[in-house]
Amino acid sequence: MNNQTTSLPVLIARNLHRDFILNGNKTLKVLQGVDLEIHESEMVAIRGLSGVGKSTLLHCLGLLDTPTAGELIYRDGDSTWQSPGLSEKIRCALRNQFIGFVFQFFHLLHDLDVLENVMLPSIVNSTSREWRKKRGRVEARARELLQKVGLEDRAHQAPGTLSGGERQRVAIARALINDPRLLLCDEPTGNLDSRNSDSIHTLLRELHDELGTSILVVTHDPDLANRADRLLDMVDGKFERREQL
Ligand SMILES: Nc1ncnc2c1ncn2[C@@H]1O[C@H](COP(=O)(O)OP(=O)(O)OP(=O)(O)O)[C@@H](O)[C@H]1O
Ligand SMILES: [Mg+2]
């Protein structure tokens, strides 16, 4: 389903640039004028050669990195936030509440069990009093998400005892615990074999269709790219052309 024409954007990027200074003098221009809109309930895939700037873009969009120039606008209902111009407190809140991240290498905490890993983004930024109040509700939601990703019976297992595909399922549940408006996935199946990749592709599409979360996914995998509503090709630090699927 492509809602681009009927729905509002949750994220707008205008003329984003990201330069890196190498060895104190040489400038590496990575993002070179990225324009992008991600609409409500849209699934968009980005592909491009290694080193073209896909992860750099996701880090900028996810407020993990700061663009050298350009503008970012986040929208949730009637609320909008525009960067630059955000306080560190608002950037943290957007990173934690508005955006969910799924990375190639899962990044689960091995001292916590599966359920605690899923609940973690909800604990961050809570005072102990707030946490005591919301813990029951968060745990119920975490168990619900574990059920959606097919791991409800693994809640108290250590992440180290799970397969790669199962760890990515936990990471996806964790990314969804705060009901983000936008899920950013950086090569979510880049570290998985084809069978596990296929089941993660199906899961992402199902979660997208069920929850209506907008998804922006960077992938080298044609199967995942083909499941998106829209496919963008990144060339020389910007998008070359748009292809409606
Ligand atoms: N912090 C940094 N300092 C200097 N250069 C960087 C930094 N981060 C990224 N780069 C450079 O920016 C370029 C783009 O990197 P990026 O990781 O965004 O590529 P990518 O498209 O995600 O590639 P891949 O498909 O291999 O993951 C690369 O040349 C990389 O070396
Ligand atoms: Mg990358």
Query: What is the mean pLDDT of the segment spanning 214-240?
Result: 91
**pLDDT tens-place string over residues 96-145:** 889 999 988 888 999 999 999 999 999 887 889 988 998 999 999 999 99
**Rounded to two decimals, what is the model's pTM?**
0.90
* CA separation for the pair 141, 126 (Å, rounded): 17
Smallest CA separation from ligand 1 atom 8, residue: 56
**Residue carrying structure tokens 């936008």:** 182
Query: What is the mean pLDDT of the segment spanning 187-213?
Result: 87
Backbone φ and ψ for 28, nearest 5 degrees, come out as -100, 115
Among 54, 65, 103, 186, the mutation site with the greatest number of ligand 1 atoms within 8 A of its Cβ is 54
pLDDT of residue 42: 94
**pLDDT tens-place string over residues 175-197:** 999 989 999 999 988 888 888 88
* CA separation for the pair 235, 240 (Å, rounded): 6
- pLDDT mean across residues, the chain: 90
Distance from Cα 134 to the centre of ligand 1, integer Å: 39
Query: What is the mean pLDDT of the segment spanning 74-91?
Result: 92
pLDDT of residue 4: 47
- Assign 233 to helix, strand or coil: strand
Distance from Cα 187 to the centre of ligand 2, integer Å: 7
User: Does ligand 1 lie within 6 Å of residue 83's CB atom?
Assistant: no
pLDDT of residue 3: 46
**pLDDT tens-place string over residues 19-75:** 999 987 899 999 999 999 999 999 999 999 999 999 999 999 999 999 999 999 999
User: Does ligand 1 lie within 6 Å of residue 100's CB atom?
Assistant: no
Question: Who's near 206: CB < 8 A, 6+ residues apart?
Answer: none
Domains in the chain, please, with CATH? 9-244 (3.40.50.300)
User: Does ligand 1 lie within 6 Å of residue 60's CB atom?
Assistant: no
pLDDT of residue 210: 87
Backbone φ and ψ for 72, nearest 5 degrees, come out as -125, 135
Identify whether the C-beta of residue 188 lies closer than 8 Å to the C-beta of residue 218.
Answer: no
Give the helix/strand (H/E) hosting 39: strand 26-39
Question: Who's near 24: CB < 8 A, 6+ residues apart?
Answer: none
Distance from Cα 21 to the centre of ligand 2, integer Å: 19
